[in-house]
Structure 1
Amino acid sequence: MEQFVEKIHIYHTNDLHSHFESWPQISRYLLTQQAIHANASETSFRFDIGDHVDRSHPFTEGTAGKGNVALLNSAGYDAVTIGNNEGITLSKNALNTLYEGADFDVILCNLVETDGSIPKWMKLYKIYSTVEGTRVGVIGATAMYTDFYSKLGWHIHEPHAALKAVVEKIRHEVDILICLSHLGVNEDRLLAEVCPEIDVILGAHTHHLFPEGELVHHSLLAATGKFGQYVGRVTLEVDTKSNRLLKKEATVIPVGDLASGKDDVHEVNGLLNAGQIALDEKVFFIETPLKQQLFANSSLATFFGQALLAYTHADCAMFNAGIFLRSLEQGWVTKRHLHELLPHPINVCVVTLRGEELLRVYHTAQNEQWPQLEIKGLGFRGTLMGNMIFEQLAMNGDGHLLVGSEIVQTDHIYRLATLDMFTFGYFFPMLKDVEKEYVMPELIRDIMAWYGKREMMESLGLLEENE
């Protein structure tokens, strides 16, 4: 029987993290390819696999991520799924309103309201029809940060089970199944094993790059690394008589090889300027400068440590000096200053420890190699760890650990305020499974702003007694 072959072209991006420096080239390439395929009467799709939003960029912060949505609109995206940056660095209200102006579908099957209902901004799946009538089912899932989502008022389902349930529901209604997976490379490989009905898994989260894809059983895995360095392209060939998938290939296009336009730099700088203008709002006034020190304690670190204790009512605090990316000069501190100081999407976490556990944490933090350690990921947007800083936690001359002025008792319970990145097990394995409470949705710069306002109001005699 004669074969009639349809070509379907899929373009995908992931983990841009608001690195807009190459966005003009990416957008122009996607729109150009869309026009080329349309002129050839061929179907093409454009998908983003999450973490397009990153609050470390002033444009994203100043627009609460809506600027990112506008950029996706302008590049003609058909659908996206969310990453952890969209999901857990935005408040619930900010995520609920993020996609109000979207011209694309948000496809996600494992995030629901606490009562089990589906948020109005998302779809569990979408079935698209190509020029030749091939039915393309698109599903999506995001990484399972249970504690964070719960604290924000969401319920996150185990992604593999959620995806398999959707596949079971729609597999007889589609000819091709594509998954937008912000789960990570190992989870994608496992998904290909447990759900072989999925033809293509477009990956993200772990910033992995597959220059020619990776075939795991029946499924083709594709991913483009991070920061907009590549655009992914998957080409499918389908027998339109039998609706059978004949061929699938993956490749990546280096964005650095794409042509630049004369206005590209102006466009990128315009995003930065728009963000800075949006953040140019006075927050609090300081009488004396708060200076940054990477390898020593500082007035800035003391101010921040006191902010953590005041906000959380913890007994002591621990954080690294590398979180501070600038100093604060005397005068008005604006939202922009605080964003430049603490661009990290990092939350505070209060961990409950016995005295002997607190002592172990303190000794672990004395690692002499840590101050010069370069940190990547975990929400950290600086470079080096810097010295570990303690507030109301110190060793006295007799070798006893003190919380305030009291010697730590091994069987007593203490509450330590720290950064969420120290509770994931990478630096302090003992903190991974202890009792903890994440402070959300406030990021560390929000707590700094709260404390600065409070101190200013108190100095003016305007602070209410219980405030």
Structure 2
Amino acid sequence: MRVTLYHTNDIHSHLDAFSRIKTYMAEQRPKLDHPSLYLDIGDHVDLSLPVTEGTMGKRNVQLLNEANCDIATIGNNEGMTISHDALNTLYDEANFTVTCANVFDESGQLPNNFVESYIKEVEGVRFLFVGVTAAFTPFYRALDWLVTDPLAAIQHVVRQRKEQYDVLIVMSHAGIFFDEELCKLLPEADVILGSHTHHHFLEGKVSNGVLMAAAGKYGHYLGEVTLEIEAQQVVSKRATLHALGTLPEVKTDFEQEGRAILNRPVVTKPMTLQRETNFITEATYRLAQSVHDYIGADCTIINAGLMVKGYEQKILTEYDIHQMLPHPINTVRARVSGRVLKDILMTAREQTYMYEHAQGLGFRGDIFGGYILYNAGYIDSSNRYFVNGVEIQDDETYLLGTVDMYTFGRYFPMLKGQSMDYIMPAFLRDIFKAYLQEL
């Protein structure tokens, strides 16, 4: 018997590309003379697209339904960028199975509409599908979810389902390094469909007898895995990718759809918000102030490039605010010693990334921009640092307001390991919108 597994991952609401993938599968699947399944491996949702923001991901689920998705798992965008209640209702209208074995609420229950694993029988062969997502523990905890170790979760399912399946398919939104380790520790897996780190394999990669397949990001590829099965066992497996440029052209209008959904004024009078990345404007300073006030910090630091678009004398709508701050970025309250805070301010003073193109870590802009300090400063000539006009003391503790992308080690390595609270689920745009409404 032959079975084809189509797979996508990390679409990140690039719905124009996904529409082409959907159209291709609608044309090709009926032509096959053997069974096929379509699986999505997470991060289909990304609130940086207005229509996704305006529907809290439900438009994405509708499109997965239209693509005749059979099984999906979640990525960090589904799990961490929408509220607890929104995740619990995200898949209410899904016509497909959602499997994720390592996200639970505080009572130990899976999110609504989730299953820990799923067995699907295809022409007498029992396929076990288990999905896991990356364990961003503090982020999930801030949203009242518990996320467990994905390896332990998979091993638990495999033990629990022993002798109940013939073919094991792992749907991993935990990244390529996790998948490579999983090949060593779980050689009984037939296929690992990977994601999260946006990697791709043009023809798959076999490690320890396990086939790894992954389709990159943003709908650049549609993945296809072909399994040959005899006597309930996989005897041959191969993978390929279909590049987006080879798929049918499709006319879409998701941008207008999103603009219409978010076409609600958020202020009553025209406002000018100037966007610059290499110097502080009133708008970017006010953005820093909004974060500062929201967190209740002693001082705050952000970067100017977070403001992606500016406006001149415009009555701003939800859509405008979204376009200005499209990032799925949350704020952070960090407790740091004066010594560490001075190191942070000294690093910011260097403005290393002011003109750099930045990507990843939730950032949805282009140029990183200069750092903006609120309620903090320094005297360059004497190397002295201040919070609220008072010189910083090495052994005192300060509350620093900032954004989560600074806590992963690249921009401020000294922040890693510090005591901090991730303030969720509000994004920068939610905080700034509320601030503007109070002016």
Shift of 1:331: 4.4
Whether the 8 Å CA contact 1:196–1:218 is kept in 2: the answer is yes
Shift of 1:78: 0.2
1:60 to 9, 28, 52: 52
Q: TM-score, structure 2 length as denominator?
A: 0.97
1:103 to 95, 104, 127: 95
Q: Check if 1:224 corresponds to 2:215.
A: yes
Whether the 8 Å CA contact 2:272–2:313 is kept in 1: the answer is yes
Shift of 1:368: 4.2
Listed one character per residue, the Cα deviations across residues 360-407 of structure 1 (whole Å, up to 9, x for unaligned) are 001112334311111111000011111111111111364321112111
Q: Check if 1:257 corresponds to 2:246.
A: yes
| Structure 2 residue identity aligned to 1:218 | G
1:8-407 matches, within 5 Å, as 8-37=3-32, 40=33, 42-130=34-122, 132-239=123-230, 242-260=231-249, 264-265=250-251, 267=252, 270-285=253-268, 288-396=271-379, 398-407=382-391
Classify the secondary structure of the residue corresponding to 1:365. Answer: helix
Listed one character per residue, the Cα deviations across residues 99-121 of structure 1 (whole Å, up to 9, x for unaligned) are 11100010110001111122231
Q: Percent identical across equivalent pairs?
A: 38
**CA separation in 1, counterparts of 2:269 and 2:284?**
15
Whether the 8 Å CA contact 1:167–1:197 is kept in 2: the answer is no
Listed one character per residue, the Cα deviations across residues 216-263 of structure 1 (whole Å, up to 9, x for unaligned) are 112110001101010000000011xx2121100011111211232xxx
Partner of 1:441: 425
Shift of 1:328: 3.3
Shift of 1:21: 2.4
Whether the 8 Å CA contact 2:23–2:248 is kept in 1: the answer is no
**CA separation in 2, counterparts of 1:299 and 1:229?**
39
Listed one character per residue, the Cα deviations across residues 200-221 of structure 1 (whole Å, up to 9, x for unaligned) are 0000000001011111112110
Moved more, 388-397 or 101-110: 388-397
Classify the secondary structure of the residue corresponding to 2:311. Answer: coil
Task: Tell me: CA distance 1:444–1:374, structure 2 relative to 1, closer, same or farther (3 Å).
Answer: same
| Structure 1 residue identity aligned to 2:293 | A
Whether the 8 Å CA contact 1:285–1:331 is kept in 2: the answer is no
Whether the 8 Å CA contact 1:110–1:157 is kept in 2: the answer is yes
**CA separation in 2, counterparts of 1:119 and 1:326?**
36
Shift of 1:157: 0.7
Whether the 8 Å CA contact 1:91–1:152 is kept in 2: the answer is yes
Classify the secondary structure of the residue corresponding to 1:304. Answer: helix
**CA separation in 1, counterparts of 2:351 and 2:284?**
19
Whether the 8 Å CA contact 2:43–2:78 is kept in 1: the answer is yes
**CA separation in 1, counterparts of 2:415 and 2:343?**
10
Whether the 8 Å CA contact 1:351–1:435 is kept in 2: the answer is yes
**CA separation in 2, counterparts of 1:113 and 1:436?**
22
Listed one character per residue, the Cα deviations across residues 152-201 of structure 1 (whole Å, up to 9, x for unaligned) are 00010100001100011113111101011000000001111112221100
| Structure 1 residue identity aligned to 2:373 | F
Cα RMSD (Å) of the superposition? 1.2
| Structure 2 residue identity aligned to 1:35 | P
Task: Tell me: CA distance 1:66–1:355, structure 2 relative to 1, closer, same or farther (3 Å).
Answer: same
Whether the 8 Å CA contact 2:351–2:371 is kept in 1: the answer is no
Q: How many residues align?
A: 438
**CA separation in 2, counterparts of 1:187 and 1:100?**
30
Q: Check if 1:423 corresponds to 2:407.
A: yes
| Structure 2 residue identity aligned to 1:342 | L
Partner of 1:458: none
Task: Tell me: CA distance 1:133–1:288, structure 2 relative to 1, closer, same or farther (3 Å).
Answer: closer
**CA separation in 2, counterparts of 1:410 and 1:375?**
32
Classify the secondary structure of the residue corresponding to 2:163. Answer: helix
Classify the secondary structure of the residue corresponding to 1:356. Answer: helix
Whether the 8 Å CA contact 1:348–1:417 is kept in 2: the answer is yes
**CA separation in 2, counterparts of 1:113 and 1:411?**
38
Whether the 8 Å CA contact 1:317–1:392 is kept in 2: the answer is yes
**CA separation in 1, counterparts of 2:314 and 2:4?**
55
**Greater Cα radius of gyration, structure 1 or 2:** 1
Partner of 1:460: none
Q: TM-score, structure 1 length as denominator?
A: 0.92
Classify the secondary structure of the residue corresponding to 2:364. Answer: coil
Structure 1: tracts of 5 or more residues without a match = 1-5, 456-467
